[in-house]
Amino acid sequence: MRHTHALTIDDLDQVRTLADASLREGFRFVQRFVDDMPTTALDTREQWFFGVFDDRVLRAIGGVTPDPYALDANVGRVRRVYVAVDVRRQGYGHLLLDALETRARDVYPILRLNTDTPAAAAFYEQRGYTRIVDESATHMRRIRVSEVGSS
C-alpha cells in the first residue's frame, strides 16, 4: 500500500538504494542528498523531505526548502525529487508532489524548482508550474495567495 511520510535518518539505507539507481541514470543530486542527509534538517517548519513508500519500499523522494536563490522568505524550492525508474508514470510523483505542496501551503505561497530534463519539465507543467527565465530556476507555481501585509 502506498503512503507518504517525512523521511528520517532511519530511511538512509533506502535513500542510498535510490541514489545508486539515480547515478546509473546520470543524476547526482540524490547522492548529494545521501551525503548531506545525516546533517540535514529533514522535517522542520521551513524544510522537509518526504518519501513515498510501497509496502515499506522507498519508491520516490523529494523535499521543500527555503529557496536560497530567491532572496524572499515567501518562496520555497522543490528539491531532490526522484522517482524510481520502474514505477514512473504510475502516480508516485503525483502523490509526492501533492504531499509536498499541501505542506508548503502553510509556509510558502510560491514554489520554484530547477529541472534539466524534458520529461520532468512536462510533469511539472502538467501540475500547474510555469516556465520562467531565471538563472537559478526553470519553473514556478503560486500555490496560495500571499497573506503578507494583510490583517
- Domains defined for the chain, CATH in brackets: 2-111 (3.40.630.30)
Q: What mean pLDDT comes out for the span 38-62? A: 96
> What is the average pLDDT across 107-124?
96
Three-class SS of the chain: CEEEEECCHHHHHHHHHHHHHHHHCCCCHHHHHHHHHHHCCCECCCCEEEEEEECCEEEEEEEEEECCCCCCCCEEEEEEEEECHHHCCCCHHHHHHHHHHHHHCCCCCEEEECCCCHHHHHHHHHCCCEECCCCCCCEEEECCCCCCCCC
Q: Note the pLDDT tens digit of each residue in 8-27.
A: 999 999 999 999 999 999 99
- Average pLDDT of the segment spanning 70-89: 95
Q: Model-level pTM?
A: 0.92
Query: Looking at the predicted structure, is the pLDDT value of residue 147 above 70?
Result: no
